[in-house]
A and B are shown apart, each in its own frame.
Chain A
Amino acid sequence: MSYATLEVGREGHVGWLIFDRPDAGNAMDAVMLEELEVAWQELDADPEVRVIVNTGNGSAFQTGLDVVQLARNPDALREQSRRTKRAELKISAWHNEVTKPVIAAVNGVCAGGGLHFVADADIVIAASSATFLDPHVSIGQVSSFEVIALVRKSPMESVMRMAFSGSHERLSAQRAYQLGIISEVVEPDSLRDAAAELAEKISRNSPTAMAHTKRALWGALEMGLTDACRAGAAELVEMWGHPDQTEGPLAFTERREPQWAPMNT
């Protein structure tokens, strides 16, 4: 599949999903909204891909909906409004129920709807020049999904401050690191190398164990602690007897890379 607004590639076991509307701050127009759904599903379905890196071309990571372009496309706007109303968005990995680990590599400004891709990633790293802001309330829009997910995952005060300061203040990559919103800050021109290196490490782990882990951890955000542990225990036990559980320790004692079973999707 070829894409007009995204770059989708593979390198070894790493799938890359790159926003490619650099002249528009990688904002999502009608085409990108459609392509995102296809691209996430394509990478998730590809058995060669074990981990996905999401980043952007140009100086911005992602700046949310391209409202100017969408205003000229009433059908696309209507469809997007319908999905928003029903909380049926299909733009992030989480919306598309991607089963593989997803790393967001934030290469520059991440604004408003761009925060979906930070909130919905498993791991987030950023260039030292990256900034985070949520301008929704500065243009009369409500900030909702993105920040709801961020509230579950990060210290809340910082999320509320971002939601209420709108376009008038930016969170730096350094502060996002201190807060644990991201786990690594790198020099801007080594961001993709750092993401590739991290993805490479992750791709050495059991794909099936990671898929169960992902379901257990994201599922845990849906319920109380004891219920989440109970559901998590089911994910755990489901994997017992899987060939990876013999292969893992065996490879370790034989000092070689494990040969994981392909994932049953």
Chain B
Amino acid sequence: MGAYEHLIVQREGPVGWLINNRPDQLNAMNSAMRDEFADAWIELDNDPAVRVIVHTGEGRAFQTGVDVSEIAGDGVGMERYRESMENFDLHFTSWHQQVWKPVITAVNGICAGGGFHWVADADIVIAASDAQFFDPHVSVGQVVSIEAIGLLRKMPAEAVMRMAFVGRHERMSAERAYELGMISEIVDPPDQLRAHAQELAETIAKNSPAAMAATKRALWGALEMGLTDACRAGAAELVSMWGHPDQTEGPKSFAEKRDPNWLVE
């Protein structure tokens, strides 16, 4: 691990950065990049110095889905992904990889089609003011599925369905994505996006890592079930933290007006 061809993985203080790095292909994902994602998420999740992960892209696009030129080019097509898709055994997002650290997606430009995987599967999404969102799948004969299913749980459904059916013939602005609650912040000018994401990540990194991990498990777990069952499972996550040293350290550091020293496991 550590050397990537299609991604940049780096650290800045408590923040791990995962950067899509195929700018000439608008960060479209070929099969090599797909494999690198699996490693990069685990590498950052396993690094105790990393408390929060920011995911963004190089160039004018954030991500534009599967690399169609690879699909079209070698006669194998989407068939290369059949087994993993049929078994829903995917490994390219933080949700697939069960990363329990907070993940911020910082959408730096175009987010199209499969790019929505990392919007749907992030905890927090911010975007540059010139970011644009659209889903061209049905315009090229592909089905819209996993990414939109994730989004449906997290935002008003009508907007997701409109994007799914209108295909490449319409784009959603960062402004509308903000109004709908798909993203929580627009950064303007766009070139401030990374600085701002770093700042937001550092703010989040001030919180108890163990408490955030249990919180993340409770909230994502809730998307799997009915309300009462979700509360029951959430209660178990809550109680699992009781007696944890962070629960003494938190109030103590507050009273002593200093930053807490969280336990890092």
* A contacts, CB < 8 Å to B: 51, 101, 122-124, 152-155, 178-183, 198, 201-202, 204-206, 208-210, 212-214, 216-217, 220-221, 224-230, 232-240, 242-249, 252, 258, 260
Contact = CB atoms under 8 A, between A and B. Distances in A.
B238 interface: no
Contacts of A206: 138-142
Interface string B142-166: 1111101110110111111110111
A118 to B, nearest CB: 9
Given A205-B138, A221-B152, A230-B88, A213 B157 contact: no
B139 A224 contact: no
Contacts of A220: 149, 152-153
Contact of A249 (B72, B85, B165): B72
A interface SS class: helix
A214 B165 CA distance: 9
Nearest to A178: B179
Contacts of B220: 225
Interface in B181-223: 181, 220, 223
B55 interface: no
B170 interface: yes
Contacts of B181: 180
Nearest to B182: A180
Interface residues of B, number: 45
B135 to A, nearest CB: 9
Given A216-B149, A224-B223, A239-B143, A205 B159 contact: no
A181 B158 contact: yes
A217 B138 CA distance: 13
Contacts of B241: none
22 contacts: A122-B162, A153-B158, A180-B180, A205-B165, A209-B142, A216-B145, A220-B149, A220-B153, A221-B152, A221-B157, A225-B150, A225-B220, A229-B88, A230-B88, A236-B85, A236-B142, A236-B145, A238-B143, A239-B141, A246-B141, A248-B141, A249-B68
B157 A226 contact: no
B78 interface: yes
A204 B141 CA distance: 11
B68 A181 contact: no
Contacts of A152: 157
Most buried by A among B79, B86, B158, B169: B158
